Amino acid sequence: MILSTANTSHLTMKKFLFTLLVISIAFGAVAQKEIKPEDAKDNVGKTVKICTKIQLAVYHENLDGRPTRLFTSADSAHSPVTFIIWGENRRNFDYQPEKDLKEREVCITGKIELLTGKPVIVIEKQSQVSVK
């Protein structure tokens, strides 16, 4: 009888953990909605996926923080969202983002923040970027 109760309890716990895992995956998929670059300003604070072409890419190795900035417009001032890879995070990439992402269609996932009043997504690791 004790063995039977232990087995039942173990199966119940497995079912509970499996259900919790399924709910977590479903919630994660909903939390990262895909938006257009021009909608970034309306989604500050949210984690989103933006698919777009990188028109301009610049590595500022002499500026504070050594940022790599990726723009959706050839004129950085008109880019509705900027993607930033800080110098300390460049080691998380096995390519040079400013060279290998320019003129490429990409999807970038991350949280939209404001930097100097403009929407940005900080890219910390390569897995946030997929090249189409």
Q: From the options 2.40.50.140, 1.10.10.10, 2.40.10.120, 1.20.1440.130, give the CATH code of 33-131.
A: 2.40.50.140
Domain spans of the chain?
A: 1-31, 33-131
Question: Does residue 7 have a pLDDT over 80?
Answer: no
Find the mean pLDDT for residues 4-9. Answer: 57
Overall average pLDDT of the 32-60 stretch: 97
Q: Is pLDDT at 21 greater than 70 in this prediction?
A: no
Q: What is the pLDDT of residues 52-78, one digit of tens each?
A: 999 999 999 999 999 999 999 999 999
Mean pLDDT (the chain, rounded) = 87
Instruction: Please give the full DSSP string across 47-70, using - where no structure is assigned.
Output: EEEEEEE--EEEE-TTSTT--EEE
Answering whether pTM is above 0.85, one says no
Closest CA to 40 of 80, 85, 83, 84: 80
pLDDT at 117: 95
Quick check: 24 pLDDT over 90?
no
- The single-letter DSSP state of residue 41 is G
**Helices then strands, each counted (H, E), the chain:** 2, 8
